Every structure is written in C-alpha cells, then in structure tokens.
Amino acid sequence: MTEQDPIAYPTIPEAEVQLRCNRCNKPITPATAILTETGYRCAECVRAQQRVFDTTNKLDPFLGFAVAALISFAGSWLSGMLGFFTILVAPGIGTLISNAVRLVVNRRRSKALNKAVLVGAIVGALPLLILAILPLLSGSGPLLTGGGNLMPLVWRVVYAALVSSSAYAQAKGMRL
C-alpha cells in the first residue's frame, strides 16, 4: 500500500482523509486516530502493538538492564579515546546494545524492557562520566585551568545521550 493508492479505501472521501496510520498507512480520521509515541495510528494497529509489547517475563527487564549497562560501560571506556568520533560510534554502540538485549531475552518485548534498556545504557555511561566531573567538584583539577580540558567531559555527556537514545529508540522497535 502506498500513498499513491487513492482507490484502496473508497469509503472515506478524500477531503476527510487528513491522517494516515503510520504503520499500515490506512487513512484515519481525527476522531479515530490515536497519537502514539511514534505518530498517529489506527486503533487496530495500536491494539496489535500492545499485544506485541507485553511478551517479557519478570526477569527480562533485569537482563536487559544488565546487558545494556555492561555494553554501555565498555563503550564509554572506548569513547574516552575517541573524542569527536564519539558522535559516530555511540549510536552504533546503542545498536549493539539493542541487538544484544534482543538475543538475551529471546526477542521478547515490553515497555518495561525498553525502559530497562534505556536506564541501563545511561547507568553504564555514568561511572566514567562521574570520574570526569569529580575534578571539577573538587576545584583542584586541571579541568578548571582551560576550556579545552572540558572536552573529555563533554564527550562523555554526548556519549551517554547518544548511546541511551539510540538503544532506546531501537529497543522500541523503530528498526530491527
């Protein structure tokens, strides 16, 4: 089904079609459209999605958290040597986290698992980020002597933001 398929749903006049479900592309009216985290969807797709989103067992979110935290931590150690290239590498590590979690939980899915992956990715990036902040807090570190020395901390923050948002977006199923 494509946008260029005007006769697919002849029961809804063109003038009333203001929205299309962004999953099945079916025309939907404002009255029946449901705004989801990823855009407007029809009621059937939302119901289907909710079923898909609840297949995990109690242990899965903890596994997801642990895997995400471990990989994120390993990646944050790596990104300490990358500087600018953190921008290119961090989303890839997010992908790695998402794929690894998917394997570990045998492709089961739930919103709780997605949130656990998000939190895990952030938590994994924190230890080295905090290590980069500590000299600032003590007021005695070399970080205060020149703006250039702030960059390691900046890249840690960039890494934490990118790796967690990338892992979370892909955990939510925006890409397989």
Please, what is the minimum distance in Å from the beta carbon of residue 48 to Zn ion?
Answer: 8
118 lines the binding site for Zn ion (CB under 5 A): no
SS3 content of the chain, % helix, strand, coil (to 5): 65, 5, 30
User: What x/- string results for residues 3 through 22 when contact with Zn ion is judged by CB under 5 A?
Assistant: ------------------x-
Q: Which is nearer to Zn ion, 45 or 132 (CB)?
A: 45
Please, what is the minimum distance in Å from the beta carbon of residue 168 to Zn ion?
Answer: 23
- Tell me which of 1, 8, 12, 24 binds Zn ion, using CB under 5 A: 24
Token digits of residue 35: 């705004």
> How many CA atoms, within 13 angstroms, populate the side-chain half-sphere of residue 117?
31
Among 125, 121, 137, 129, which residue's Cα sits nearest to residue 171? 121
Among 145, 12, 10, 122, which residue's Cα sits nearest to residue 68? 122
Q: Which is nearer to Zn ion, 45 or 160 (CB)?
A: 45
H/E run at residue 111: helix 111-138
- Tell me which of 23, 108, 111, 115 binds Zn ion, using CB under 5 A: 23
> How far apart (Å, rounded) are the C-alpha atoms in residues 55 and 142?
50
How many other CB atoms are found less than 10 A from the CB of residue 123? 17
Site for Zn ion in 27-66 (CB under 5 A): 42, 45
Please, what is the minimum distance in Å from the beta carbon of residue 25 to Zn ion?
Answer: 7
Q: Which is nearer to Zn ion, 36 or 149 (CB)?
A: 36
Q: Which residues bind Zn ion (CB under 5 A)?
A: 21, 23-24, 42, 45
